[in-house]
Amino acid sequence: MDWIGWANDELDDIRAAGRWRETRSFDAHGPAGALDGQPVVSYASNDYLGLSAHPAVAAAAVDAVGRWGTSATASRLIVGSRPCHDELEAELAAWKGTDRAVVFPSGFAANLGVVSVLAGPGVTVFSDELNHASIIDGCRLSRSPVRVYRHNDVEDLEGQLATTTGRRIVVTDSVFSMDGDVAPAEELGRVCAERGALLVLDEAHSVFGPPAPAVRGLTVVRVGTLSKTLGALGGFAAGPQPIIDLLVNRARSFIFTTALSPADAGAALAALRILRSVEGDTLLRRLRAVVDRVRPDHPSPIVPVVLGDERRAVKAAAALLERGIFIPAIRPPTVPPGSSRLRIALSAGHTDAMIDALLVALDDLDLGGS
């Protein structure tokens, strides 16, 4: 069979499984916009504080383009470093309370770099069963033996750590992107400190926390993104100086790619400064109030409505779209078979009227369950 025939057979299999996907152009600035000409409000983006549309963040991106152009033009270790990269890394380290931080072109690249460099054939990696694809791919690239522990099950992890020797890494999402639940960070830190394991926390969705564990003797690397809470693009790792220095010298996803664009670095820096200000506190309180209206006391802005069957999830998404509410269905392989869902992602940019409309629609369509 030729390659085109093979590709068409693969596509037929995807269609037959009900998992066909295609991009849809959403013309938007903030939560509201137009999808294929239809006015809609999105409840699916990761712009948790609405900073992607903040005037100061946009102005910082424009200013960076005016000073340095649209591209960094090379990798960071050639001629791709700009003053905005250095400033951003310094403020990220201060925000996370670490010695140093390094910026990657994306959060995916950050996880690939961190896990593949710190792990390796002589290191055992312990990974939560619901970790993000970027962590899973980093583990594969590392060629480490990988042990998967039950989701958020510290006792299972502790038992597995007790049966291994040598260098060990525990890696977990801090907030899990499809369920919106949080890792038991403090307990994980205690176990890692007792066993001499390195803890890697992917804090991409951790707008409310949890905070990194404060455990004596624990070494933590904190991975994050600039594209969610900060409304820009890119990723970073923050941690002890020797570990970040090692990433700069060995992480292929840092070394062999053009640096983050000046516009994205400038935007992220402006957003981080807003987040760490009084205005940031106000935005966090607003987001907390929005989440509490949809699901009181939920620990993150990610609110899943698990429907199980893929076709049921697609039908529910279509019914919401008829009402101008845009929440794409999440299906395998993003989530396990039988757990297809609507993944509601909330933002401080959602108005009270937008949340009213969402709640009415969920109630009318009997989609209020978890």
Helices 278-294 + 352-364 axis angle, to 10: 20
Residues 6+ apart with CB under 8 A from 61: 232, 263, 264, 266, 267, 270
Which residues in the chain land under pLDDT 50? 370
352, 229: one domain: no
Shared-domain flag, residues 173 and 228: yes
Please answer whether residues 202 and 223 qualify as being in contact, where contact means their C-beta atoms are separated by less than 8 angstroms: yes
CA pseudo-torsion sign 298, 340, 177, 146: positive
User: Which range marks the domain in which residue 96 is found?
Assistant: 55-275
Q: What is the DSSP string of 5-74?
A: HHHHHHHHHHHHTT-------EEESSSEEEETTEEEEES--S-TT-GGG-HHHHHHHHHHHHHH-S---S
- Quick one: 312 and 193 in the same domain? no
Residue 50: closest CA among 359, 277, 282: 282
Q: How many C-beta atoms surround the C-beta of residue 67 within 10 A?
A: 12
Beta strands of the chain (E only): which ranges? Answer: 26-28, 32-35, 38-42, 100-104, 123-128, 146-149, 167-173, 198-202, 220-225, 235-239, 302-308, 325-326, 329-330, 340-345
DSSP string, 328-344: PEE-TTSS-TT-EEEEE
- Residue 214 domain-assigned? yes
Neighbour-count burial for 155-184, b at 16+ CB within 10 Å, e otherwise: ebbbebbeeeeebbbbbbbbbbbbbbbbbb
Same domain, 40 and 72: no
Task: Tell me, yes or no, whether 370 lies in a domain.
Answer: no
**Residue 213 lies inside a defined structural domain of this protein:** yes
**DSSP tag of 1:** -
Question: Residue 135 maps to which CATH number?
Answer: 3.40.640.10
The total number of structural domains in the chain stands at: 2
Check whether residue 131 and residue 103 sit in a common domain.
Answer: yes
Residues 33 and 77 in one domain: no
Q: Are residues 39 and 176 in the same domain?
A: no
Residue 16 located in a structural domain:
no
DSSP-derived letter for residue 79 is: I
What is the pLDDT, as a whole number, of residue 140? 93
Question: Which pair of tokens denotes residue 47?
Answer: 């712009």
Q: 21-26 — which CB contacts under 8 Å span 24+ positions?
A: 26/326
pLDDT of residue 369: 53
Which of the listed residues 275, 293, 311 is the one where a domain comes to its end? 275
Q: Note whether 222 and 93 are same-domain residues.
A: yes
- Distance of alpha carbon 12 from alpha carbon 320, whole angstroms: 27
Given a contact cutoff of 8 angstroms between Cβ atoms, the answer to whether 166 and 123 are in contact is yes
Q: Could you give the CA distance from residue 230 to residue 273 in angstroms, rounded to a whole number?
A: 10
Check if the beta carbon of residue 207 is closer than 8 Å to that of residue 287.
yes
- Does residue 312 form part of some domain? yes
Q: Report in angstroms the alpha-carbon separations of 228 from 126, 193, 196, 223, 231.
A: 26, 30, 32, 13, 5
- Indicate if 34 and 63 belong to the same structural domain: no
pLDDT at 176: 97
| Residue at 138 is within a domain | yes
* Residue 228 sits in the same domain as residue 115: yes
Q: Are strands 38-42 and 325-326 parallel, antiparallel or unpaired?
A: parallel
Q: For residue 19, what pLDDT is reported? A: 83
- How many Å is the Cα radius of gyration of the chain? 21
- Which of 126, 125, 124, 101 lies closest to 254, judged by CA? 101
Domain harbouring 328, CATH code: 3.90.1150.10
pTM exceeding 0.85: yes
